Amino acid sequence: MYYFKFIFTCFFILVSLSANALDPDELLQADQAFKVSAVTTKDGNVKISWLIADGYYLYRKKISFTSKTDSILIERADLPAGKIKKDPNFGDMEVYRHSIKSLLTLKRPAAATTFALLVKHQGCADAGLCYPPQRTVLNINLPAINAPQTSDSFNPLDQISKGLGQSLALFSDKLLPADEAFQFFATIKDAHTLNLQWRIADGYYLYREKFNLQLSSDSAIDTQLLSYDIPHGKATHDEAFGDVELLYNNLSFNVPLARSNTAEHEITLTAKFQGCAERGVCYPPMQKTVNLLLPVSSTAATTSPLASVKKKPESEQDLIVASLQQDSFFLTLLSFLGFGLLLAFTPCVFPMIPILSGIIVGHGENITHRKAFFLSLSFVLASAITYTVFGVLAALFGSNLQAIFQAPWVIYLFSAIFIALSLSMFGFYNLELPKSLQTRLQNTSNKHRDGSFISAAVMGVLSSLIVGPCVAAPLAAALMYIGQTGDVILGGSALFVMGFGMGVPLLIIGASAGSLLPKAGHWLNASKIVFGVIMLAVAVWMLERIIAPELTMLFWAMLCIIPAIYLRVLDPLPEIDSGWHKFWKGAGVILLAYGVLILIGLSAGNTNPLLPLKGLASGSTNPQQEAPIEFKRVASLAELDQKLKAASAQGKWVMLDFYADWCISCKEMEAYTLNNPDVKQALSSFVLLQADVTENNDQDKALLKAFDLIGPPAILFFNLNQQEQSSARVIGYQEAEAFLQHLSQL
């Protein structure tokens, strides 16, 4: 009963943290706390207003507008600067209180008189509760206009006068809205060139490193951005971003285009950038989307392979992120429970089975069906909570915290623990606490009956951190969602449910072990020896990450041959013997034979214990296919940039593989997918790069952060223009057949 109270208390505290133990009757409904309305202006545009109740606030970053009328586009949305709120979880955030107005500049046909606008916003109460994202569709009647609004109505004199006006803002107490501090303009220079301009107010600057330009997926079918040069700025060291260049006043540069469609057509360009005010306030990342009409071109560009470009699907993790943003709370949790069940049958979870089984067997004849189940539940809940806590921290602070626990000394220590436990099961010694401490623990156990449950929970925490560090697509998606939105409640809940789903098979195995394992006698001793060998196997499997592969092969051979000798595989069977003795004799023969094969493979230079004789078969006529895939290592962003430029000069795409010795799925991907003969043939036209982030040093972290990755395994693809194809990312393990199909879509 105490154990149930303990779990319920932990769960209640977790829920209370998200709601601050508020009485729902004291809180306003979202539509009452944040009343949104719309009015039209004389020039045919729309002004959106919010009336915010006292004690409530809106996040500036969470406000967005989407046109639901196909013929009407939103050219610009002006939001005023908010007040900076120091949030203990999310840092400095811009928020609005009391009221806010936003002007939407529309591009619409003259005949359009109705406009459906989707408004998204999110806010919180000062009392501590945050509302889920709100979606409101406003149906607006528009006044008739004499002529359609186009980008040709741009008046340089008006813009210059606005620039002069905003230049005086340095002497004002209020910060300029982002759209006034950093005015963005995009124009067509010619059929193959765009011109982009930013007018930056005095006292403000943009980061050169934060520019990113992208075409929409529809536009990218027949148009592509080529390499462009951003003017250099003032070099400085920023406390937040390191060594950067700051751009002041006016910024202008050209962006060349590669076109396969020479007819007049419209493209959609998204420009992302970020800047700050010199007084010390930095704006959140900004994004502007414009539609540009490309004129007829007399010739198609010959520098781009766009003739056969197909529209690419979103990557798996992007689709999961989209579902997190769109699906209901309970549907999301149900989906992640399914993801967890699927991940349960991967190498991330397999090593936990002998660990949990060893814990149960270690209780000997005292084990019961009920106790085995609750031991398993303690192990699984602790593991799931660990995934949640460390996952949320990793997403919010941009670091794979599991990697910290992959340091060699941690691996050596944990392997030594497993070796000590295995020797104890062999009967070499008994692991006992001092008598005085045993007495105290016994008294506590008699009161609460949960001492062993705490031990199982501790093993669950350590196992999730050290034994099975994996980054699969669902995990990466949840971390991306938390990092992008700061929604710890939904993201953390998804991580917890996924972690619990991964542990469901462990619950089943643990519960069955309680009823299937023998209670006493010779068979119980035999079971302990079997699990002792399994724990030694776990120790060797962990050491694989940090020791030479040849030494690992030797350990695997010893682990097969020595137990076979103990099974008396070399002794003759008596004339009258039981069937079980014959069974164990046969198992010993198999172990001995496999151990010898591993030794033969080791002497031939092989390092894969699962394929010890690979390459030794007679008639192997293609040694190139038998050779392992070769990567060029990159250790920094500068080195990666050089390799990308060299590959572009050769007219080759680039595949970048993020790898670590402690990453289980990385080794699985390299052994069974990337070294598949068909896969190696398909990759022969690529430049193959690999970033080894085993040490998790500053350069490794910078590489991961540059691509918004939490950790390996991850495979990225870069086109001839040195641009990463984010929709083509592969996160986690993928079988050879699926990977070949993925390559065919590039």
Q: Tokens 């050290």 — which residue?
A: 466
Residue 34, exposed/middle/buried by CB under 10 A (0-12, 13-18, 19+)? buried
Max mean pLDDT range (16-25, 413-422, 482-491, 615-624): 413-422
pLDDT at 347: 57
Residue 130, exposed/middle/buried by CB under 10 A (0-12, 13-18, 19+)? middle
Contact between residue 470 and residue 666 where contact means Cβ atoms under 8 Å apart = no
Token readout for 691 is 């970033």
CA 248/CA 275 separation, integer angstroms: 10
Contact between residue 182 and residue 275 where contact means Cβ atoms under 8 Å apart = yes
pLDDT-derived band of residue 284, with 50, 70 and 90 as boundaries? confident
CA 488/CA 495 separation, integer angstroms: 10
Mean pLDDT of 721-730: 84
Looking at the DSSP assignment, which residues form a beta bridge with residue 253?
Answer: 196
If we measure between CA atoms, which residue out of 656, 680, 667, 671 comes closest to residue 729? 656
What single string gives the DSSP state of each residue in 411-475?
HHHHHHHHHHHHHHHTTS------HHHHHHHHHHHHHH--HHHHHHHHHHHHIIIII-----HHH
If we measure between CA atoms, which residue out of 277, 211, 207, 283 comes closest to residue 238? 207
pLDDT at 240: 61
Q: Is 608 helix (H, G, I), strand (E, B) or coil?
A: coil
pLDDT at 634: 93
Mean pLDDT of 376-400: 71
Model confidence at 339: pLDDT above 80: no
Mind listing the pLDDT tens digit for each residue in 91-133?
677 889 988 888 888 888 877 778 888 898 888 888 767 777 8
CA 341/CA 502 separation, integer angstroms: 5
If we measure between CA atoms, which residue out of 548, 556, 567, 569 comes closest to residue 596? 556
pLDDT at 14: 41
Quote the mean pLDDT of the chain. 74
User: Which amino acid, residue 388?
Assistant: T
Mean pLDDT of 49-53: 89
pLDDT, greater one: 331 or 7: 331
Token readout for 30 is 């979202």
CA 735/CA 597 separation, integer angstroms: 26
CA 164/CA 434 separation, integer angstroms: 81
pLDDT, greater one: 116 or 13: 116
CA 431/CA 421 separation, integer angstroms: 8
Token readout for 74 is 């939103």
Model confidence at 139: pLDDT above 60: yes
If we measure between CA atoms, which residue out of 273, 288, 105, 102 comes closest to residue 204? 273
Number of H-type helices and E-type strands within the chain:
23, 27
| Strand order across the 265-273 sheet | 212-215, 265-273, 286-294
Q: Is 172 helix (H, G, I), strand (E, B) or coil?
A: coil
Residue 726 C-alpha from the chain's centroid = 13
0.85 exceeded by pTM: no
CA atoms within 13 A on the CB side of 524: 14
Cα torsion 575, 580, 581, 586: sign:
positive
Q: Is 75 helix (H, G, I), strand (E, B) or coil?
A: strand
SS (H, E, C) 135-160: EEEEEEECCCCCCCCCHHHCCHHHHH
Token readout for 26 is 């004291």
Mind listing the pLDDT tens digit for each residue in 356-379?
766 776 665 666 777 778 888 888
Indicate the helix (H) or strand (E) that contains 373.
helix 369-397
Task: Spell 642-669 as b/e; 16+ CB within 10 A means b.
Answer: ebbeebbeeeebbbbbbbbbbbbbbbbb
How many residues can be counted in the chain? 746
pLDDT at 717: 93
Mind listing the pLDDT tens digit for each residue in 401-453?
455 555 677 777 777 877 876 776 676 755 554 555 445 544 544 443 444 67
E strands, 555-619, are none
pLDDT-derived band of residue 83, with 50, 70 and 90 as boundaries? confident
pLDDT at 41: 82
Mind listing the pLDDT tens digit for each residue in 232-274?
888 887 666 678 899 998 898 999 988 877 788 889 999 999 9
CA 312/CA 217 separation, integer angstroms: 8
If we measure between CA atoms, which residue out of 337, 363, 343 comes closest to residue 510? 363
Mind listing the pLDDT tens digit for each residue in 239-248?
666 788 999 9
If we measure between CA atoms, which residue out of 473, 498, 487 comes closest to residue 395? 487
Other beta carbons within 10 angstroms of residue 92's beta carbon come to 11
Rounded to the nearest 5 percent, the helix, strand and coil shares of the chain are 45, 20, 30
pLDDT at 386: 79
pLDDT at 337: 81
